[in-house]
Amino acid sequence: MKKYMSLVVLSCVASCLLMASPAAAETVQSLRGAREIESPSQKPEVEKLIADQRPIKRDFVQQPPLIPHKTEGYLVTRNYNKCLSCHSWANYKSAGATKISPTHFVDSHGKELTNVAPRRYFCVQCHVTQADAPVLIENTFEPMQAIK
């Protein structure tokens, strides 16, 4: 009888633990937050972007320069590239913008092309706008000696 009782107790404990586990899962923070699967996602917070300014100092030689201006509504499609309307070699002078560097004309086989290489066409894969926000994590990173 005693043995039987302890089995009952054990199975009670086990089922309690099992029932407790979904509650434990809720404390896991995903990007979506601890929300029911059925409920809509929270609206993402949109940071205020920096005001248009002069180029931002680079931290290492190979760094894709940060975009020092707003890019909202700048469309890049197969047929049209808003960025190139100011940054291409044909347009940079009239736009007062930096021209894209010759590295952007080299394809993935190292072949020099006469126009922007496909792998460099989608500018914001590498170049990013900056939010006017405090640093997420303090760090002690120092720029490379070559460009200090």
Considering only the stretches 28-36, 42-50, 100-108, 131-139, report the one whose residues sit in contact with ligand HEC under the rule CB under 6 A: 100-108
Q: Count of residues binding ligand HEC (CB under 6 A)? A: 35
116-123 contact pairs (CB < 8 A, 24+): 116/81, 116/84, 116/88, 121/76, 121/81, 122/76, 123/76, 123/81, 123/83, 123/87
Smallest separation (angstroms) from ligand HEC to the CB of 26: 40
Taking CB under 6 A as the rule, which mask of x and - marks residues 49-88 in contact with ligand HEC?
Answer: -----xx------x-xx-xxx-x--x------xxxxxxx-
Site for ligand HEC in 34-53 (CB under 6 A): none
3-state helix, strand, coil in the chain (%, to 5): 30, 5, 65
User: What distance in Å separates the CA atoms of residue 132 and residue 114, rounded to the nearest whole number?
Assistant: 37
Interface with ligand HEC, residue 20, by CB under 6 A: no
From 49, 50, 89, 100, residue interacting with ligand HEC (rule: CB under 6 A): 100
